Amino acid sequence: MYKYDQYDQAMVDARVEEFRDQTRRRIAGEMNDDQFKPLRLKNGLYLQLHAYMLRVAIPYGTLNSSQLRKLAEIARKYDRGYGHFTTRQNLQYHWIKLEEAPDILAELATVEMHAIQTSGESIRNISADQYAGAAADEICDPRPWAELLRQATTFHPEFSYLPRKFKIAVISSAADRAALRWHDCALRIVRNDKGEEGFEVYAGGGMGRTPFIAYKIRDFCPASQIFSYIQAILRVWNHHARRDNIHKQRMKILVHDLGEEEFRRQVEEEFQHFLTLGTDFPQAEYDRIAAHFAPPPFETGLADEIDRADPDFAIWVDQQVIAHKAPGYAIANISLKPIGGIGGDITAEQMEIVAGLAERYSFDDVRVTHAQNLVLPHVRKVDLYAVWEALRDAGLADANLDLVTDVIACPGLDYCTLANARSIPVAQKIQQRFADLDRQRDLGELKIKISGCINACGHHHAGHIGILGVDRKGTENYQLLLGGSGAEDTTQAKITGPGFDEDGVVDAVERAIECYRSHRTEGERFLDTYRRVGFDAFKEAIYG
Amino acid sequence: MQLLTGNDLKSGAVIWWTGRGWSRHVEDAVDVGDQGEAILAAEDGARRVNGGYIITAENTPDGPRPSHIKDRIRALGPTVRPDLTLKPADPAAGDWVI
């Protein structure tokens, strides 16, 4: 993974001291909250329901064991012994004290981490495929490009006061594991007819109050010109954006107001201008960054078989283990969705156990997924049993990847000041309703995503089944949506009808699932059946 | 009744106006009547509270109960982590929120 050079470290260290001084001035009364709030947000520090919340950036979801151990240490020393992985592949602490925040940032800086641009009107943490560098189906590792873009856009003056937040994702496979088209700007690495690498470019996606799926605005942008193209996109948005109306500031609004063709035309015009400026990445700089992401020294001649004698282990392998590009290796997914637990939460002790496993079995590499799980990306197949035993003993061996209990849920009204309704209790009740693993496996891939407000941090627009919590005259109410996807077959979920109370929405989910069971044909997922049978049949099943 | 609440500037903890200062416990909160804005202005200036605001609450035999669920969750703690609430030893504490 990328290692800071002296410039990176100097910038992050200086930022810590700058924030330490800003915090001192706020506590001393030299600044009021209106003055301090934008400064703390630029360092990922929010004020939530019960305390301050610190969002730590995990670039493209990649961690090493030292970083994960530091996150555990911070959880124990400054928080309440746990952290929460988010749908942006970041980690949040929910019980932070303002007076200790600078010390936490200083501790993060010792392991090349920070919270810069995890909030505010900036280019947020750039996300990527969690299996980057390991997936059997990828063209190349997308993370060098994510890292180049991270470096080029961090503290960039033109992008430091954007109209609104801006989210970028980078992948390099046909399968989309990063919800590509739900981003403001998304890149898929492809090869053209000449075998040259470049990017499909998507723009104008986003969830929230006004969901849009991104358009593909370019079939192929040469890799050597991608920064010009992204700057062109940002400049067109920056030029036109409705800074007078917070609900119309996101780029997706502009793209869809201008229309696909006109937005593309203007971007292409700006692109031609940027090409004359010489701001693209020199090959030597790409090579320097890419060297940090060189494949680990995979052993050769390893056995490719997995001993499945233990039936519980065999189930875990079937559900959690994914094909790796290197013979004899596998990708091991770690569920953070225990039945009745809190999705994405992980204790300090569990972080340390995962860090140890990564160090011993996965070339010191851990990944965070946007579905709020973890990944050990490079495990020898002969080591999988030992890994599973350790995970089982740590309460981390649930075998529910992409099943009905692998629910994405935002923190909701239990923690978040923006939320209208609680998300986590609904997720827990759904998990308990479908706890039987045989039933889960019979239902197959079924992605439920829950948000506690229209900001959609729980990705409800992209759920096969989505749930949106709303406030109806002071009580929690839940709208049910069907048919969304964040994968390569991206679609936006559709609201089914009147909302439900907490127990009612769990019953409604079960009725939708029973509708699927009664209509499915061999091999059909929930989403496939929904698309074939249609909305009305499901609505009839839900509302009668 | 009208209560004042906010978060402690330094710790971020939820706090309630008691008439003479701030308390972590909603049971200590007092009705501020129409004095809420004036008290908040003074307390904001004194740097003791962050994001202060006025809420309505019901006066019950057990003390004030905020009208909105968000403020009841703020008063107790996250419903999904009883161990992290202000009443970790009371298994029925969550019923007060819902």
Domain assignments of chain B as residue spans, ordered by start: 2-97
Q: Which residues pair with A495 in a beta bridge?
A: A481
Query: Chain B residues with CB inside 8 Å of A413's CB?
Result: 69-70, 73
Query: Chain A residues with CB inside 8 Å of B70's CB?
Result: 49, 413, 417, 419
Res B45: pLDDT: 78
Domains assigned to chain A: 6-109 (3.90.480.20), 142-291 (3.30.413.10), 311-393 (3.30.70.3340), 408-543 (3.30.413.10)
Q: Are B41 and A33 in contact (CB under 8 A)?
A: no
Q: Mean pLDDT over residues B24-42, rounded?
A: 95
Residue ranges of chain A with pLDDT lower than 50? Answer: none
Query: Chain A residues with CB inside 8 Å of B80's CB?
Result: 342, 414, 422, 424-425, 428
CA geometry: angle A306, A331, A185, nearest 5 deg: 160
Q: What does the block give as tokens for A360?
A: 């011993």
Res A75: pLDDT: 98
Interface A-B: count of C-beta contacts within 8 A:
69
Q: How far is A97 from chain B (nearest CA, A)?
A: 4
Q: Mean pLDDT over residues B49-74, rounded?
A: 95
Question: Do the Cβ atoms of A425 and B80 come within 8 Å?
Answer: yes
Res A242: pLDDT: 86
Res B61: pLDDT: 94
- Residue of A25, A27, A30, A49 to mutate, testing the B interface (most B Cβ within 10 Å of its Cβ): A49
A interface with B, Cβ–Cβ below 8 Å: 26-27, 29, 32-33, 47-52, 80, 95-99, 342, 413-415, 417, 419, 422, 424-425, 428, 474-476
- Tell me the pLDDT band of B48, cut-offs 50, 70 and 90: confident
Alpha carbon distance A137, A240 (integer Å): 39
Average pLDDT, chain B: 94
Return the residue matching tokens 């089944």.
A465
Q: What does the block give as tokens for A456?
A: 């959609």
Q: From residue A461, how far is each of A189, A207, A342, A494, A525 by CA, in Å?
A: 25, 7, 21, 8, 18
Query: Chain B residues with CB inside 8 Å of A50's CB?
Result: 12-14, 74, 77-78
Q: What are phi and psi of A87, to 5 degrees?
A: -75, 0
H-helix or E-strand spanning residue A497: none
CA dihedral A521, A427, A439, A527 (to 10 degrees): 10
Whether B6 has a pLDDT exceeding 90, the answer reads yes
Alpha carbon distance A288, A293 (integer Å): 10
Q: What are phi and psi of A285, to 5 degrees?
A: -70, -40
Return the residue matching tokens 């030299």.
A30
Res A492: pLDDT: 98
- pTM attached to this predicted model: 0.97
Q: Are A129 and A291 in contact (CB under 8 A)?
A: no
Q: What are phi and psi of A319, to 5 degrees?
A: -95, -35
Alpha carbon distance A124, A464 (integer Å): 26
Q: What is the DSSP letter of A181?
A: G
Strand ranges (E), A320-381: 321-323, 329-334, 345-347, 366-368, 374-380
Alpha carbon distance A99, A224 (integer Å): 45
- Residue of B80, B81, B85, B86 to mutate, testing the A interface (most A Cβ within 10 Å of its Cβ): B80
CA dihedral A18, A22, A28, A32 (to 10 degrees): 170
Residue type at A97? K
Q: What percent of chain B lies above the pLDDT cut of 70? A: 100
